[in-house]
Amino acid sequence: MSSGFTADEEDLYFDTVEAVQRRLRKTRNPADLLAVIREAFKGFERAFASAPVAARAAVACRAGCGTCCHNEVAVQAHEVLIAAEYVQTHFSPADLEALVARAAAHRTAYAARLVDPAWVWPKTPCVLLREGSCSIYEGRPGICRAYHSNSLAGCITNLAAGHEQVDVKIRGLRGRMFAVMLGIDQAAEAAGFDEHAYDLGSALHEALTNSQCAIRWMRREPAFPADCREDMDGHAPA
Ligand code: SF4
């Protein structure tokens, strides 16, 4: 693995892979498999809590910011299904209907990249961002859990630039959080689950309108159609 991880971060990565793989192997009922990954998300909290004090103190992220929620959100299939499950168990019918409409509009806009070579990410908010806060906070994807910044001004500059112009990474924290995220993803992939990267808004729309997605994932098939796949270059996914 070429990771740029420190030795500690690499240990955390391999420990996460091993622990999640072991739990997936022991799970006999396919309906319980997603819960194994949801449970593994607690590893983010442990990784944060055990990060150096100075690294934790450098976090500039505050409730109600949401600047990083205006970037493209690339996720794994299991993260989409966990987000959809959270929505279905916590949202009112009216909020669910409004979210499906937002996600449908997002999906249509995102699909435009397949036919327009000049397409650029419009920097619109994530469909799950409501009044500056994540509406599925406890069920949010790994990348949202792993990301911390040392500078709000840096995040705003980077969003406007469309790339990381200012280094907002927090040494001693980013690597630990990414070790957990990549460890979970690697364990799921090694167990044969869908390894494609998906656009969160597009795949969430599919998950909320098609109950077959979760069944396909459990069967270790691609959970979502090709138009939901993440493709940073704007080319049609293979
Ligand atoms: S899922 Fe939540 S935390 Fe992640 S980008 Fe969307 S609103 Fe932000």
* pLDDT, tens digit (0-9, with 9 covering 90-100), for 52-68: 999 999 999 998 999 99
User: Is residue 11, in this structure, part of any structural domain at all?
Assistant: yes
Question: What does the buried/exposed string (b/e) look like for 110-145 if buried means 16 or more CB atoms within 10 Å of the residue's CB?
Answer: bbebeeeeeeeeeeebbbbbbeeebbbeebbbbbbb
- At residue 233, the pLDDT reads 53
CB of 128 sitting under 6 A from ligand 1:
yes
Looking at the predicted structure, is the pLDDT value of residue 1 above 90? no
Domain for residue 173, yes or no?
Answer: yes
**What pLDDT is stored for residue 118 in this prediction?**
83
Encoding tokens for residue 130?
């409501």
pTM of the model: 0.93
Q: Looking at ligand 1, which atom is closest to the CA of residue 66?
A: 8
pLDDT band at residue 238, thresholds of 50, 70 and 90? Answer: very low
Please report the pLDDT score of residue 235 as a whole number. Answer: 47
86 Cα to the center of ligand 1, angstroms: 13
Element (H, E) at 152: helix 152-161
* Distance of alpha carbon 43 from alpha carbon 46, whole angstroms: 5
Residues 6+ apart with CB under 8 A from 19: 40, 43, 187
| Residue 40 within a domain | yes
Q: How much of the chain, in percent, has pLDDT values that exceed 70?
A: 96
C-alpha span between 190 and 204 (Å, rounded): 23
134 lines ligand 1 (CB under 6 A): yes
17 Cα–ligand 1 center, Å: 24
- CA-nearest residue for atom 1, ligand 1, is 140
Asked if residue 184 has its Cβ within 6 Å of ligand 1, the reply is: no
Q: Which residue minimizes the CA distance to atom 2 of ligand 1?
A: 134
The whole-number average pLDDT for the span 171-182 is 97
Residue 77 Cβ inside 6 Å of ligand 1? The answer reads no
Is 129 near ligand 1, meaning CB less than 6 Å away?
yes
Domain presence at residue 1: no
Q: Specify the ligand 1 atom closest to the Cα of 127.
A: 6
Query: Does residue 231 register a pLDDT over 90?
Result: no
pLDDT computed for residue 2 by the predictor: 53
Q: Decide if 231 is inside a domain.
A: no
Number of structural domains (the chain) is: 1
Q: Is residue 186 part of a domain?
A: yes
pLDDT at 200 over 50: yes
Which range scores top for mean pLDDT: 2-16, 21-35, 223-237? 21-35
Note whether residue 170 is domain-resident.
yes
pLDDT tens-digit series, residues 130-169: 999 999 999 999 999 999 999 999 999 999 998 899 999 9
Centroid of ligand 1 to alpha carbon of 82 (angstroms): 13
Q: How far apart are CA 167 and CA 151, in angstroms?
A: 9
Q: Which domain holds residue 201?
A: 7-224
**If you average pLDDT over every residue of the chain, what do you get?**
93
Considering the domain boundaries, does residue 230 fall inside one? no
Q: Which atom number of ligand 1 is nearest to the Cα of residue 130?
A: 7
